Amino acid sequence: MDFRKERRRKKTSQKRDKSEAIKYALKLLRYRVRFVEEVKERLKEQGFEGSVIKETIEELKKKGYLDDEKASYLFAFDEMKLKHFGPRVVKQKLVRLGVDEELAEKVVERVFVEIDWKEEFERIAKRFKDKHELRDYLYRRGFAPSQIEEILDQIDGGE
């Protein structure tokens, strides 16, 4: 019995139209900003056909509901400011999420410049016994050695 229900559900899901796809995509976007690839994948999982997915994505982009640049910026800002990931790691995460590498690079650079890293590093530094542990931590989080040294020098002349 379950097999028949599953088969029937698959048949009806393939006939779903663009308005249903838009409705589902807007439901997803209601919870948080999403990347184009993420919405495509979720629509595919729901059984929408490729042509319907493509039309839906185009319409959502045109109306401003889907914007990889905006989503990338918000993602990068959260990852860097709240989770203290460095540019290298954030860029890798964005690319894994389906963002174009050039766009990821541009967004990460923009966010890196906007954040007051001196203040962030001062706050993070309180958790470590010495500068060496802090350097190791920041390097593992995706900061380049030159970035780490530059900001540590601003804090207290480094060590």
First to last CA, the chain: 71
Flag whether the pTM goes above 0.75.
yes
Contacts of 152 (CB under 8 A, 6+ apart): 121, 131, 134, 135, 158, 159
**124: confidence class by pLDDT, cuts 50, 70, 90:** confident
pLDDT in tens, 94-120: 999 999 999 999 999 999 999 988 888
State yes or no: pLDDT of 6 exceeds 70.
no
Which one has a higher pLDDT value, 9 or 148? 148
Mean pLDDT of the chain: 88
Local structure of 101: helix, strand or coil:
helix
- Least confident residue range of 11-15, 32-36, 153-157: 11-15
Query: To which H or E segment does residue 30 belong?
Result: helix 18-31
Does pLDDT of 159 surpass 50? no
Confidence of residue 7 (pLDDT cuts 50, 70, 90): low
